[in-house]
Amino acid sequence: MNFAIIGATGNVGRKTIEVLEKSNLEIENLYLVASQKSAGAKLNFKGKEIKVEQLEKYDFSKAEITIFAAGSEISKKWAPLAAKKTIVIDNSKYFRMEKNVPLVVAEVNSGDLKNHQNIISNPNCSTIQLLVALKPLHDEYKIKRVIVSTYQAVSGAGKKQVDELFHQTKNHLDGKKIKSENFTKQIAFNLIPHIDSFVEDGYTKEEWKMEHETKKILGDSIGVSATCVRVPVKTSHSESVNIEFEREYELKMVRKLLENAPGCKVVDEHKDGGYMTPLEAEGDYLTFVSRIRKDHSNNKALNMWIVSDNLLKGAALNTVQIVECIIKNSKI
């Protein structure tokens, strides 16, 4: 089978190449596509150099499945055209809330893929890891409400932002003046409670995405309140989550459900270091859950800590898992 990656030279594009290389997918040809600026570059895949093609000149009929990893504007313009000739899996936010476009977390709602019309959307990175942990609990106890605060790594914003974090950190340690170019305020040694643009009610679009994507995937009955914060961490998003169920629960059962959930691993020892951090999650395919404990203010609620690599499970890995689900359940 033939595959293509649009935006192959970016953070998510490169991670997608890595995940495809480690997968068991039978890949006859892999076409790497990017902007005119990046066209002509060569990237490695399974020991071979592949020349990056220019998007404007690329023939979408060459691949049965095409992964878009180039941002909303590119997806808006090119994905509908591509979908006439290939199945599109899109990492951008552009199609996520479209009624006829499945929004899929592989371990959560892969059944929705049967209704696709050649465009499938990958959820927001923070939504993905949240739902990997919420799904088994929702199936058992039915979730009434979720309050989530995110601590999101700069790699979720892009390569320029990662470079700026390193540059700002060096300047701070050298006692030099810091100028913020890709952030609203200094990110080094700081936190910024602002991701994406603001909407009229005071929330940001990132927070809006977490709320509405969760509802689209798990159902409108779940209440979601999110606060999204950018932190001076290179990779892996973390989330502090409070979950209220429709009925009382057993903590032992919650742990058992999470331990048995696909894509999820519980690391929760009540001792120094008995939990996961962003640094430890980087490069791992799993979503980690720690600090599972009762909410003493509400006998139907609990708290937990969720960590996952935002470039892997939050983007490239989930995309490839969607591909695997499509192939498994179709005649492609």
Active site residue ranges: 125, 237
**How many Cβ atoms from other residues are within 10 Å of residue 102's Cβ?**
22
- Residue 69 and residue 12: Cα distance in Å, rounded? 6
In a 3-state reduction of DSSP, which class is residue 259?
Answer: helix
Beta strands in the chain (DSSP E): 2-6, 29-34, 42-45, 48-51, 53-54, 65-68, 87-90, 119-121, 143-152, 223-230, 237-245, 264-266, 287-294, 301-308
**How many Cβ atoms from other residues are within 10 Å of residue 217's Cβ?**
21
Sign of CA dihedral 188, 287, 148, 131: positive
- Residue 127 and residue 148: Cα distance in Å, rounded? 10
Distances (CA, A) of 66 to 12, 43, 118: 14, 17, 10
CA atoms within 13 A on the CB side of 311: 25
